[in-house]
Amino acid sequence: NKQKFIITGDECYFENACSLKIPLPKAAAYSIDSNKKFLNSISDDEKILTLHDPIYLPGDKIHFRKIYPD
């Protein structure tokens, strides 16, 4: 059982809103349709890590490790 992660930038600002599939406001999105398609592509078993969410404080560190295929 492997955990899946999605790292977002401008596609998704707040983890909670993305999990609920709430699209960005029209003024913030380059393309509302693309934003909706992206949100709908996220499955329930994927953990969203957004680089804009203030729940990740400047001092918090998220460590990524490179995974090599077998």
Side-chain-side CA neighbours of residue 45 (13 Å): 4
Domains: count for the chain: 1
Residue 16: per-residue pLDDT: 85
For the chain, residues with pLDDT lower than 50 are none
Residue 33: per-residue pLDDT: 92
Domain residues for the domain of 69 are: 1-70
Residue 36: per-residue pLDDT: 92
Q: For residue 49, what are the β-bridge partners?
A: 7
Residue 37: per-residue pLDDT: 92
Residue 57: per-residue pLDDT: 57
4-30 in b/e burial notation, b at 16+ Cβ within 10 A? eebebeebbbbbebbeeeebbeeeebe
